[in-house]
Amino acid sequence: MRVRYPCLFRMLNKSPPLKEIMQRLFTSAISFFSGIRSIVLMVFGIVFLVCAGMALYDAATLWQARDWPSVAARVDQCSMNMRYSKQDSWWEVSAAFSYGDDFARHHQETWTPPDTPRYGRHPDPVISDSEQNALAKRFCDKAAAEGLRVSPDHPWMAWRSEAVARGEWNANFVMIAVCGLGAVILIALGVSLWPGREAAVKSASRKKRTQVARKKV
């Protein structure tokens, strides 16, 4: 039988079979999604690393604030939000302070008062607006009465005097440890799962063994 298009026939014979093409596409898809997975893990690791850095900064400035002078402060705005765990719930206070000459500088801080009421759950407590307003006034009036610790070199850096006196910088070490450990685990996992890394490591090990063998010879 005579072939009318010998060039086309030879190209079809040389082209890879469909099964090989599908395997290549499947391998490329797996590598792509593996790369996306590694990137997502490393991004979350970087977020945890930023969290650890912020906690370390707060702990360091709280430690330094022990030597800062105390200044009078005024509470401009105060609000409370309920925070929940599996067992109980409590109040978290957010307040905006004014301080300095003519109260021209501003500072905002969020904290959990040490004497905040603890409520059981299941069912959640029902708290009236009057009770909530009374608690907010008590907590914020106390913070305003104790004033702020302000850095003499950087007047824009301030902390509540109560936070400094209670040594709240110790609590930041828990956040530093959790976020730092999470960052190390996530980044290391993302790097280890990066597509092609295992093959690259094996290739590098093979080259080292070859170089060592040549030196011995």
Per-residue pLDDT of the chain (217 residues), as tens digits, is 454 555 544 554 555 566 677 767 766 767 777 888 889 999 999 999 999 999 999 899 999 999 999 999 999 988 888 898 888 889 999 999 999 888 999 999 999 888 888 888 878 778 888 888 888 889 888 888 989 999 999 999 999 998 898 888 888 888 899 999 999 999 999 888 887 655 544 555 555 555 555 555 5
| pLDDT for the residue numbered 13 | 54
* Residue 53: predicted pLDDT: 93
HSE of 161, CA atoms in CB hemisphere, 13 A: 17
Cβ atoms 135, 55 nearer than 8 A: no
What pLDDT is recorded for position 56? 92
**pLDDT of the residue at 31:** 73
Q: 182: which 2 tokens?
A: 């999470």
Quick check: 105 and 99 in contact, CB under 8 A?
yes
Q: Which two tokens stand for residue 79?
A: 């609000």
Task: Give me the amino acid identity at 216.
Answer: K
Residues 6+ apart with CB under 8 A from 104: 98
118 within 8 A of 89, measured Cβ to Cβ = yes
Domain ranges of the chain: 73-146
**DSSP codes of every residue in the chain:** ---S-HHHHHHHHHSPPHHHHHHHHHHHHHHHHHHHHHHHHHHHHHHHHHHHHHHHHHHHHHHHGGGSPEE-EEEEEEEEEEEE-SSEEEEEEEEEEEESGGG-EEEEEEE--TT---EE-SSPP---HHHHHHHHHHHHHHHHHH-EEE-SS-TT-EEEHHHHHTTTHHHHHHHHHHHHHHHHHHHHHHHHTSTTHHHHHHHHHHHHHHHHHHHH-
Query: Distance (Å, rounded) from C-alpha 37 to C-alpha 146?
Result: 49
Token look-up 């330094």 returns 64
Q: What is the pLDDT of residue 8?
A: 46
